[in-house]
Structures are given as structure tokens and as C-alpha cells.
Amino acid sequence: MSGPLTRLRRARGSKPDAASLTPRARRIIGLNNGFQLLFNLLWWMPVFYAYQREAGLSDGQIFGIQSIYYVAFCLFEIPTGIVADRIGARNCLRAGAVVMTAANLTPVLSPSYTGFLVHFLAIAAGRSLTSGAASAYLYDGLAAEGAGEHYLKAEGQARAWGLAAKVLCWPLVGPLMALAHPAPYLLSAASAAGSLVCAVVLPRQAAARAGNPARAKGAPRDGLAFLRDATKALRCVWATPWLGLVMLQGVAVFTLSRICQVNLFQPVLLHHGIPESSHGGVLAAMTVAEAVASARPQWLGRRLSPVAWVSLLSLAMAAALAGSTLGGPWTVIALLCVFAAVTGFAYPLQRKLVNDAIPAGAPRATLLSVESIVDRGVCALAAVAAGAYLSAGRLDALLWQSALVTGVVMVVLHLVLRRAPGRRRKAPDAEPAPELVTTAGNP
């Protein structure tokens, strides 16, 4: 009786039972939380713009490095995604943690344009090694333990824990810099080293259980195998229109959040007369809002499909940015917090949509890298445009035009998604997710 009753409760939208998790699944979730928290704990984030200005870099150099970073990320993504599918996601996470540790030490050893350029290039390599591998490891690991319905919550909680750590740490950056100027980068390196420890003790995943034939015993490891994997991933996107469209839908979420929270955060606050001493507190408040929303994606409910929610959330993000041009300092801070909360809702939902759209047996990490390439490619163009607008003193025009472009693109893309082939397809033995039903091809 327990089996039918469990399926009935899930079909009605009840929350997944944490007691049903196996010890291995609990370990996967716990270590993934630790890895995501430490790997992404960049202490220098609230001050890197001012830090580089103090090192003698101009606005053009700073935003130029950011554009190069996004382009480099795109170039690294396909080979690192293929590497993850070949050597295993766990080994790829370990490699990414090692590279990230070295990357955060570079500005300490060379606080110059060259040093910061190498720093961001190494970060692009480290993050590309983990961007698809981390999500693939968690998704496959929970599915192998029969706990796939816990993925959405696990993805959101990992992000929430990482954001909560930033809330506690970022306000300390100013006092710590007063004691030791390179402290933000030294602490970031220590955090990345901690993520390496988490990656080392992650449970091993069997290729057969993960459902990825590319990692099966005896799979060829010659150079042509990498080309075959890349070709297979691109063919998969071409043969699965729903997957490609869902990937494109996430571009707005990623680009808006990345450009706002990394590239335009300090310029926007300075534009409205908010002093640098308050930037850490504002970023902490935004992070609290994003952490709460990331941990509770089920609050969105099921009246709208997940695809509709992502479109609506993207429009809300664009509106919040445009609205920040109309008010004073407190209005700007409030709208930035709203923007962060909407981002928190959108990220885990978009991540699950893409994972669910990937066909069984496809190279998951490689396909997630394809998505990341599209995201970072658009960000590279946006960073160049942001630098040009800021140099011309046209920040308000940048925000309004970004909102307009986002609105037009999301409306058109959502209409296409509603008519996309495969949107009603459902796996034969799939069970609906507890809070947001998102099976492959069923938004």
C-alpha cells in the first residue's frame, strides 16, 4: 500500500519526504552543499571593482577584462564539459577546485592588469570545469538513489546555503582589508581549498547508475572521442528543439543577474550617491533575499507552468532594473533586493527545466556546458556594451534598453515555447515532481 500511497501524495503535490533519502543520497546532498558554498564564496566580490581601481586599472580595462572572462568561459566550456563526461563529474569538480584556489592567489602575487587578467582567466577555467559537472553529479547521483524528486530542493538549498555564507562574510571584507589589504583574495583561496576537500570525499558514481554511456567501462579515450562527444551533444540539441528553446529562455535570467550583481552593482550604487562603505551591507541584503527565494522555489505554486514562471520572472527582473532609475537611494536598494529575490526563484527552476529536458543517455555535463556557453557569450557582449554606456555616462539608458530588449525577447520566445514540439512528451515511468511538475518535455 505504501507504494501507491506515496505516488498519490506526490501526484497531489505533497513535499518529498526527507526520511525517504538513503544515507548515500544524504551524503551527496550534504557534500554538494559544502562544495557549492565554499567554491563560490568569493570574498572579493563586493570590492573587486574598487580594488582594481586602486591598483591603477581604468574602467575600460576593468570591463575589458570582464568581457575577456566571458569569452574565455565560452571557449573553456565545451572541452571541460566533455572532460567531465569522460573522467567523471567528481574528478572534474576536484580539478576545478584546484584551479580556483590558484586563481584567487594570483592578484596577491601580481596586483596589476596582467595579474587580474590571469586571475579571471583562471576563474573562467575553474568555473567551467564545475558549471556543468556539479549539476550533472547532483542530478545523476540522486536519480541513481531513487531520489530524483529531491533534486529541485537540493539545488535550491545548495544555492541558499552559499548565499547565506556570503551574507555573513561580505560585511567583514572592509574591516579585514584594513588589517591586511589582500585579505579578500587570500580568504577566497582558502575557501576554494575547502571545496576541494568536499570534492575529494564525494561518493563515487557508477557509470551505469548515472546513465551516461560516455563514462562506461571500456569507453574509448582517444582524441577523436572528445570530438564525437561534442558532435553528439550538438546533435542532441538539434534533435530536441524543446531542450534548445529552454536553454535560450534561461539566457535572460543569467545575463541580467550576472551583469547586475557583478558588473553594474557598484556603478549603480555610486550613481545614486550610495557610498562605498555601504556597498557590503547592500550586497548582503540582496543576498539574503536571494537565499530565501532560492531555498523555496516551491512557493511559486503550480498555477503556471515552470516555463511560464521563468518567462514571468525574467520580465520581473528587467522591470526591477529599469525601475531603479526612477527613485532615490532607498528605492534603488529595495528594487535591487526584489531583483535578487526574483533571481533566487528563477535559478533552480531554470536549472531543473534544462536537466529534465536532456534525453536519457545524453552527455549531460557536455549539454549543460553548451547552455553555459550561450549564457556567457551573451554576457560577453553585454559587458562590452555596459562598459561603453558607463564611459559615456548613460547608465539609465542602458538599464531601460536592457529591460525593453528582455521584454520583447521573452514574449517572442515564450510564444515559440508554447508551440514547440515535445512539450507534451512524458517519460513512460516518470513520476511528477512534488512541487513543480517538470518532466522532460512537459512544462
Q: Please give the pLDDT value at position 97.
A: 93
**More confident call, 325 vs 19:** 325
List pLDDT tens digits, range 35-52. Answer: 989 998 999 988 888 788
The Cα–Cα gap between 11 and 13 comes to 5
**More confident call, 98 vs 175:** 98
List pLDDT tens digits, range 135-145. Answer: 878 888 888 87
Q: How confident is the model at residue 78 (pLDDT cuts 50, 70, 90)?
A: low
List pLDDT tens digits, range 244-274. Answer: 787 778 777 888 887 777 778 778 887 888 8
User: Does the structural domain 20-212+221-418 have CATH classification 1.20.1250.20?
Assistant: yes
The residue ranges of every structural domain in the chain are 20-212+221-418
SS (H, E, C) the chain: CHHHHHHHHHHCCCCCCHHHCCHHHHHHHHHHHHHHHHHCCCCCCCCHHHHHHHCCCCHHHHHHHHHHHHHHHHHHHHHHHHHHHHHCHHHHHHHHHHHHHHHHHHHHHCCCHHHHHHHHHHHHHHHHHHHHHHHHHHHHHHHHCCCHHHHHHHHHHHHHHHHHHHHHHHHHHHHHHHHCCCHHHHHHHHHHHHHHHHHHCCCCCCHHHHCCHHHCCCCCCCHHHHHHHHHHHHHHHHHCHHHHHHHHHHHHHHHHHHHHHHHHHHHHHHHCCCCHHHHHHHHHHHHHHHHHHHHCHHHHCCCCCHHHHHHHHHHHHHHHHHHCCCCCHHHHHHHHHHHHHHHHHHHHHHHHHHHHHCCCCCCHHHHHHHHHHHHHHHHHHHHHHHHHHHHCCCHHHHHHHHHHHHHHHHHHHHHHHHCCCCCCCCCCCCCCCCCCCCECCEC
CB 209 within 8 A of CB 361: no
CB within 8 Å of 99: residues ≥ 6 apart: 122, 125, 126, 129
**Residue 406 pLDDT > 80:** yes
The Cα–Cα gap between 330 and 338 comes to 12
Q: Cell 586599472 appears where?
A: 57
The Cα–Cα gap between 362 and 119 comes to 33
pLDDT (average), residues 431-439: 34
CB 41 within 8 A of CB 191: yes
Q: How confident is the model at residue 8 (pLDDT cuts 50, 70, 90)?
A: very low
Q: Please give the pLDDT value at position 100.
A: 95
Q: Please give the pLDDT value at position 114.
A: 93
Long-range contacts (CB closer than 8 Å, 24 or more residues apart) made by 300-305:
300/345, 300/349, 300/436, 302/13, 302/435, 302/436, 302/437, 305/443
**More confident call, 236 vs 193:** 193
